[in-house]
Structure 1
Amino acid sequence: MTAPAPTAAGPVEAYPEFLDCLAAADEYAATDVALRLLEEGVPAERVLLDLIAPAQEQVGRWWQRNVWSVAQEHAATHVSERAVAAVAAHTRVRPHLGRVVVSCMDGEWHALPARLVGEVLRLRGWDVAFLGASVPAAHLVSYLHRDDAHAVALACALPMRLPHAHRMIEACRRADVPILVGGRGFGPDGRWARRLGVHWAGDATAAADLLADERRLHRPPSEDLDHLADDEYPGLVKSRADLIDTGLRDLTARVPSMADYTTAQFDSTVSDLGHIVDFLTAAVYVDDDALFTSFIAWMVEVLDSRKVPPRTLDRVLDVYAETLHDFPRAHRFLHAGRAAVRS
């Protein structure tokens, strides 16, 4: 297996060894690699961003291509988390800046990227309160009311969570705390963060720079959500269960082998149908077909790596387009998705 290596000299040399540690789920060896770099004078921030972060991204790519199982991905993530903890314990920095609350969106379980951002901010002198994965909005707001926070940083990895993310952002605004967001869930260039009227930081360094710019931090972009005045988004939310059932009925009728599916295979199919509906709903929420088509292109790659023919996905999108003929944006996005499947 090969992977692109980072750019800093120390982490470049250690990168293959660290990946081997992740593959072996050897947290002790991985920790030794990270600590050795620190002892050789590599700054802790570089160890986090040029070694651990890109290695974990490679783990995600190996899962996507069906090179690694879910179990291997989880084991490797645990090892990366242990390495981050070791770096943090080895580099004590007394905070001299304000308190920053770092949290994942409600329903967001990919906590490691947010943890890396929090550790970089801590190294820069911020007093960081890391709340971890999937924090309910009400609990976060309650915490912000008790805590004199300079800002709150929210992470979201999956675009299908954007409607929930927006509600969480609105809740934080009511607590009168400046907000910045990060993660791939807001688009590769943060376009959907701007649509929601919130600052976006593409990486930990950008987040630190934004927090240091007091004037910019308090001047978020304006929301661009006039399209939500129609009933299309709430209509899709109400139709979610029916759409999943419709897709499942059609697949069962057209794919005879489904009669022999195990419970796990059947549950996986239902989950995939739910993701299609959820990504479509999120695309309608931000009025951008690119959100849906990029997910469909990703899903084609995942299905192909698992020997599932793309025509099955194409048929599901066709059925949904027929069902949602009265939903103009969703109907248009579904046809764009079918074009992505065939490209």
Structure 2
Amino acid sequence: MTAVLDPVLEVAYPRYLHCLDEADENGAIDVALTLLDCGVSADRVLLSLVAPAQAQVGQWWQRNEWSVAQEHAATHISERVVAAVATTVRTRPTRERVVVACLDGEWHALPARLVAEVLRLDGWDVTFLGASVPSPHLVSYLHRHDPRAVLLACALPMRLPHAFRAIEACRRTDVPVLVGGRGFGSDGRWASKLGVAFATDARAASSVLATPAFDAPASPLSLDATEYDALVAARVELIDLVLDRLDLGRYSPTQVDATVADLGYIVDALAAAVYVDDPSLFGEFVGWMCEVLDSRGVPLHTVALTFDVMADRLRDFPRAHRFLLALRPAA
């Protein structure tokens, strides 16, 4: 989370969080616009007020202190705040055009929107394509407009294999690619695995875009997708094997649906870790998932059972089997 350093922001931040908690859209907009009137720069309002508040909202959801409905309401309000700030502080582009988009299947658009607006404030001629842009449509757009670069956002590491395919498709248009988001690791280590430039935040993205050497992408590490492809093919079977071992008679229909979704996330995260050959990806996911499930009263022995069943089925999958055994949570 971005540190809140300005004294004015230290006062405004809890007021802004209160507005999100109360679903007070007008109040949240007033907080942001008052900061602008007090001389706080627009980029600091976006990066040191809206961004950390949204991170806090995510933590509240993760700890089951906020419902999905509350999180969605807060996200919508923050999107409205970003729009209000962008409308109030209008800038004429002095730099080349860049395109900002979320990968297909990525619906967390607010972080990318923040990046787009900060780049706009920094003089770039920004086109923001929003959430979940299908790769063929994105490639067609790049061919038509030939921007200086395309910035791709990925929030979830389990989407990395899809990200790599989108990156390669964009590269075939000869448009340089820059990526960002937690999906590539906080330090960009999985971006390095995929051989693509990474920016930690909006300001870093602007600096990278201004660097001539940015046009020369790094070479991706050799990725053997054989085990990954086989694991993806076994996804439904793995979910069914675990469901057969669970006592679903005690589950409500809603709980069954949630369990199926969670099992799918486990397989997807495992597959992504196999794809980049990095157990830390799966380890970070397991830690996050266990915290979420524990906050919702889900006994973690069911997760241990899930890992045992999957590991038994995946004995002939060396990386997946090793990751499951090494990262199995305590029963």
Deviations 1:178-230 (A, max 9, x none): 00000000012100001001001111111011011122x112222013433xx
Amino acid at match of 1:316: T
Structure 2: runs of 5 or more not aligned? none
Deviations 1:71-91 (A, max 9, x none): 000000000000000000000
Is the CA contact (8 Å cut-off) linking 1:111 and 1:132 kept in structure 2? yes
- Listed as ranges, the matches of 1:36-55 within 5 Å are 36-55=34-53
Moved beyond 4 Å, runs of 4+: none
Quick one: which of 237, 243, 247 aligns to 1:242? 237
Quick one: which of 76, 80, 83 aligns to 2:78? 80
Q: 2:251 matched to which residue of 1?
A: 261
Offset of residue 307 of structure 1: 1.1
Q: 1:342 matched to which residue of 2?
A: 330
**Pair 1:11-2:6 in alignment:** no
Q: 1:319 matched to which residue of 2?
A: 309
Amino acid at match of 2:330: R
Q: 2:224 matched to which residue of 1?
A: 227
Distance in 1, Cα, partners of 2:325 & 2:17:
40
**Pair 1:270-2:265 in alignment:** no
Q: Given the superposition, is the C-alpha separation of residues 5 and 186 from structure 1 closer, same or farther in structure 2, using an over 3 Å criterion? A: closer
TM-score by length of 2: 0.98
Distance in 2, Cα, partners of 1:99 & 1:129:
7
Identity fraction in percent: 63
Q: 2:65 matched to which residue of 1?
A: 67
Offset of residue 4 of structure 1: 9.1
Is the CA contact (8 Å cut-off) linking 1:159 and 1:279 kept in structure 2? yes
State the secondary structure of the residue aligned to 1:280: helix
Offset of residue 38 of structure 1: 0.3
Distance in 1, Cα, partners of 2:55 & 2:164:
26
Amino acid at match of 2:268: D
Count of matched residue pairs? 331
**Pair 1:281-2:271 in alignment:** yes
| C-alpha RMSD of the superposition | 1.3
Offset of residue 10 of structure 1: 2.3
- Listed as ranges, the matches of 1:291-330 within 5 Å are 291-330=281-320
Amino acid at match of 2:127: A
Offset of residue 15 of structure 1: 0.2
Distance in 1, Cα, partners of 2:148 & 2:8:
34
Deviations 1:267-303 (A, max 9, x none): 0000000000000000000000000011001111111
Structure 1: runs of 5 or more not aligned? 253-257
Q: 1:110 matched to which residue of 2?
A: 108
Is the CA contact (8 Å cut-off) linking 2:2 and 2:51 kept in structure 1? no
Q: Given the superposition, is the C-alpha separation of residues 195 and 302 from structure 1 closer, same or farther in structure 2, using an over 3 Å criterion? A: same
Q: Given the superposition, is the C-alpha separation of residues 20 and 5 from structure 1 closer, same or farther in structure 2, using an over 3 Å criterion? A: farther
State the secondary structure of the residue aligned to 1:149: coil
